[in-house]
A and B are shown apart, each in its own frame.
Chain A
Amino acid sequence: MVKAKYNPKRPNRSLAGDIANIVVLLIFAAFTALPMVYAICNAFKPLDEIFMFPPRFFVRNPTLDNFRDLFLLMAQSWVPFSRYIFNTLFITAVGTGGHVIIASMAAYVLEKHKFPGAKLFFNIVVTSLMFSPVVTAIPNYMVMAKLNWLDTYWALIIPAFGYSLGLFLMKQFMITVPDSLIESARMDGASEFRIFWQIVMPCVKPGWLTLIIFSFQSLWGNTGGTFIYSEELKPLPYALNQILMGGYARAGVGAAVVFIMMIIPIIMFMVTQSNVIQTMTTSGFKDE
């Protein structure tokens, strides 16, 4: 009666299905991986290969010259380069951390507490995602000027706390937290903050780990734009873009810059994603 299963741990799967799945995924992944592979190859190309025509995709004689040139240029900069790195790290870390906590707190009460105005507020947040940021740039600048936050870190950090996307994402994850869990914690006399921090947040770990990626990416690439004009407060992407202004002679350095700007988010991505994937096996306490 019982057919021999190829994998006893996952009885409702077939071998043929699993193989087809992997094949399809790898074919598509080969396409989406192209820009990443290209950027990595470019960073190690000597100048003559970068300017080669017709362009060649892969690198033939890999070299570290581009990185050497980049570090030489960095050493010549007027403000010590470590300062730019610190600025970006500070803005990214504080902005991401604050956003995750503040947006999750709001998302928790919007989903799990019933109070007047909750639904309206949430709808406004979701709707705001649809307004083009191009035209709000000037009003935004005026708000910053009124607050006297121009040319400070806060002009980049505080608005990041209030991004609409984070609240929306966290609110959707809060739906998956069982009410009974919160109720029983409340019965045991836990404070609301404790419930939020020790019970709800572990439950929605995949949610905030994903939010960390989104927030990190948008802050990491921030050039400071019109908000910051002191050289010593400028973030890293601004300084690296300045190096690129040198034109064609800096093409090799440019490839190295693209590589460095890309590799940090990728490391961050791998760390958070492998944690997202591990959560399934560890969080066994939901609905018990």
Chain B
Amino acid sequence: MPVLAERKLSTSIPFLSTRNKLVSLKNEIIKHRVSYLFLAPYAIIFLTFTVIPVVVSLFLSFTYFNILETPKFIGWQNYIRLFLGDDIFLIAVKNTFLLAAITGPIGYLASFLFAWFINELPPKIRAFLILLFYAPSISGNVYMIWTVMFSGDIYGYVNSTLIKLGIINEPIQWLKDPKYMMPVIMVVILWMSLGTGFLAFVAGLQSIERSQYEAAIVDGIKNRWQELWYITLPNMKPMLMFGAVMAITNSFAVGDVTAALAGLPSTDYAAHTVVNHLVDYGTIRFEMGYASAIATVLFIVMVGCNRIIQNLLRKLGR
């Protein structure tokens, strides 16, 4: 009997502790029920329409899936093929990194600077200027103007101007020649970079209390640069974080621009990006498993890059 009782006791202890944990979790939920209630509508929708599809895609990256037949599990083969057997993927990675490293930071800085410059203007003309800067993100046919401009014949605006000025003798194939493709695309990306982050900055600058600036004048701030450094930047930190994440997501996800200007595939894959590669396999060759593997690798790279940059920004504020 005593042995039995002892055994019962010993088994009931871990049981009790997990039960205690459950009870305390339940208590926590009851304690914070209002918070969970506020979060619930968003959380349910987000889990259903974002988390589930992402998890399914992660699973698909370990399968052969041609959209018509049921996915076949093939382990790490997609990833092995991606890194060891796909030369074009490596070109795409190189191009994507090059584009992201140059257009990401410049676009980010430009978004902030222009938002800040505009904020200096009288309110009446502000909304109009913001519209002009945001125009590439709101008007439907953005790339058309650039294809006309950089058209490879002598009638393209750039070529005809350069010929008229006597700088070149024959037209340059801006969008077909691997030498010129990337610079042209970078210009276009930068030109389009005043988007989501830019508008968030504009709104963020509006939500800084005017009283802070008034107090700053009393405290002896003399010019707009000091004001920027001591008042505006510290107050803008949440929006700067937001803008940084958007800059990373957008600059690594470049694909539409390159496909629209240089074509898919571009000459010698000189402007091929990871997203172009992904679209190529996902929607043209119907190899969804392989496309999912590409998406997963891109995702991991972006998350890592985001980590590094968030840490840098956090240190900057201190």
Contact = CB atoms under 8 A, between A and B. Distances in A.
Interface residues of B, number: 100
Nearest to B196: A214
B45 A158 contact: yes
Interface string B160-192: 100000000000000000000000000000010
Contacts of B84: none
A46 interface: no
A281 to B, nearest CB: 8
B2 interface: no
Contacts of A135: 57, 60, 278, 282, 288, 291-292, 295
Given A22-B121, A135-B60, A162-B42, A32 B34 contact: no
Interface in A10-51: 11-14, 17-18, 21-22, 24-25, 28-29, 31-36, 38-39
B114 A25 contact: yes
Prevailing SS type, chain A contact patch: helix
Interface stretch (B7-15, B93-101, B130-138, B259-267): B130-138
Contacts of B141: 35, 38-39, 258
Contacts of A35: 135-136, 139, 141-142, 144-145
A132 B253 contact: yes
Contacts of B137: 217
Given A132-B299, A168-B245, A262-B140, A139 B148 contact: no
B36 interface: yes
A130 B303 contact: yes
B114 A128 contact: no
B133 A206 contact: no
B160 to A, nearest CB: 7
A12 B209 contact: no
Given A115-B32, A131-B295, A210-B199, A12 B245 contact: no
A240 to B, nearest CB: 10
Interface in B275-318: 275, 278-279, 282-283, 288, 291-292, 295, 298-299, 302-303, 306
Contacts of B28: 115-116
Contacts of A173: 203-204, 207, 238-239
Contact of B53 (A129, A140, A277): A140
A12 B223 contact: yes
B39 A106 contact: yes
B35 A28 contact: no
B208 to A, nearest CB: 8
Interface in A123-156: 124-132, 134-136, 138-140, 142-143, 147
Nearest to B279: A134
A134 B217 contact: no
Most buried by A among B130, B135, B142, B209: B135
B45 A159 contact: yes
B204 A206 contact: yes
Contacts of A109: 34-35, 38-39
Contact of B114 (A28, A127, A136): A28
B45 A280 contact: no
B50 A32 contact: no
A270 interface: yes
B129 interface: yes
Contact of A29 (B132, B249, B279, B295): B132
A53 interface: yes
Contact of A204 (B46, B131, B207, B209): B207
B155 interface: yes
B123 A277 contact: yes
Given A34-B145, A130-B303, A261-B140, A269 B238 contact: no
A287 B118 CA distance: 26
Given A132-B278, A217-B137, 7 more contacts: A21-B117, A36-B139, A54-B160, A110-B39, A132-B253, A138-B67, A169-B242
Q: Which 3 A-B pairs have the closest CB atoms?
A: A54-B155, A162-B45, A106-B42
19 contacts: A28-B114, A32-B135, A34-B145, A38-B141, A38-B145, A106-B41, A113-B38, A129-B249, A130-B252, A130-B298, A132-B278, A138-B288, A158-B45, A162-B46, A176-B207, A273-B127, A277-B127, A279-B206, A279-B207
